[in-house]
Structure formats: C-alpha cells, structure tokens
Amino acid sequence: MNKINKLFSQRDDRKLLSLYFCAGCPTLDGTGEVILAMQDKGIDMVEVGMPFSDPLADGPVIQTAATTALKNGMTLDILLSQLHNINDKVKIPLVIMSYLNPIMHYGLEHFFQRCVECGVSGTIIPDLPFDDYIADVKPLADKYDVRVIMMITPETSEERIRLIDQHTDGFIYMVSSASITGAQQQFNETKQAYFQKINSMNLKTPRMIGFGISNRQTLQSAQDNAAGAIIGSKFVTLLSEHKNPSDALDALYEALEH
C-alpha cells in the first residue's frame, strides 16, 4: 500500500503533522539529515521542496530558501539521489513539491519511475493544470503508484473541488488562503467560513490544511477542520536560524505551544 494511504487509513482520530522544507537549504547535502530528524521527532509526513527560480505560490521565506538552494547547486536529479541514499531508513511518507518545469525537463515518466526507486509516495505540482493532470500525468502516476496531490483554495469552485475529490487519491492540500505562503498569527472569520464550507461538502478524500500555520491557534484551527496540518514557512525560518534540524524542530514544537 502507498505510504500516504497507509498513514491516513491507520491514523484513527489522531491529527497529523506534515512539514515542508526546501531541499538544498541551508546546505546542499543536508536533505537526508533533515528528513531523518523529522522522522525521529514524530513528524508524520514530509514535503520536500524542489527549488525553482519562479515559485509563484511561495512567499518570501520559501523564495529565499529556494534561491539559496539553487545557488548551492540543488537539482531534481541530485535530490532524487539524496532520497535514494536514505530510502532504507525512511518509514514515513515523502512528498516532492515541485513546479512543473523541472519535472518536464527531467522527463515525466522518468520522474515517476525514480520516485518509486527513491521511496517517494507522492508529488505536489502547484502549476499543473487539472486537464493536463487527467490526460497526461495521472496515467503515469497510477502506473507507478505515486499520488499526485492537488491543491484547493478559497477561490476554487465547488465543481472543481468535486472533480479533484473524484480523480485524486492520498489527500487534498487545502490552502488556507488565496495568498502566497507565509506564517500567520490567526485564521480570521473568512478563513473559518471557508473551512466550514469544505467540511460541509463531505469529501471522500482526507484533507490537510497548509499555508500560514505557525502557532497553537492556527495549528488548532487547521487540525479541527482537517485530518491535519502542513507547516512550511515557519519551519524553513527556524531551520535557517538554527542550522541543526533537531534544534529547529525543538523550536518549532515550542512555538506551536504558544
């Protein structure tokens, strides 16, 4: 069974916590160390960001991390090789977040084939059009049993949300707002109404809420309205500050208590 499906099928009522970091930042060779530290500290799933020069959905924290990673020499081939080197040690699901350009340049089927070889269970491609996903990407992803995770936002129509729920597997990435990534102190009434609207749709696919989660209030709100939360910018900031992933994770857990 795909590790993502296994995670959600075995969680019962436990709320999940997934973290994002940008591969190649702060150091080119630190990818494996960061992932294994997350696993040791109880993180349920890891979203490994492939840096890109024009990350449309990312805020300044992740853009800066991507710039550092690219300067350090990170490429998709290097990232997959790093993941392959730790494959036998990783028990939790790994999801590669990459914009479409690096994947197409690498070769679509080659990418999914390498995902299987490297222990990658899923991928998030923010700029992948849904029609192209259905026509070209989904057949290959299904062939290699890799989940393609689609995003929804407050601006996504109910019809599109229903299509995503029908044609994807694993989980739906529920973006907390229509803006770029970045830590927030609280989710306002508009976001709460959006969460409640999606709850009322009774979707079959579990959801994880991301963008803006940085403290106890935003974490609790996300976990109350989905299977769990995804934290990105807050952890990327702490990793840049502390350098050591274990110390950064300790600081994150402390921040989530306040």
Question: Which residue numbers are catalytic?
Answer: 47, 58
DSSP secondary structure, 30-81, as one string: -HHHHHHHHHHTT-SEEEEE---SS-TT--HHHHHHHHHHHHHT--HHHHHH
47 beta partners: 20, 95
CA distances from 139 to 58, 92, 115, 147 (A): 28, 25, 15, 11
Tokens of 222: 């996300």
What are the residues whose beta carbons fall under 8 Å from the beta carbon of 213, sequence distance 6 or more?
Answer: 176, 183, 184, 219, 222, 229, 230, 231, 234
What are the residues whose beta carbons fall under 8 Å from the beta carbon of 125, sequence distance 6 or more?
Answer: 97, 98, 99, 100, 103, 133, 137, 148
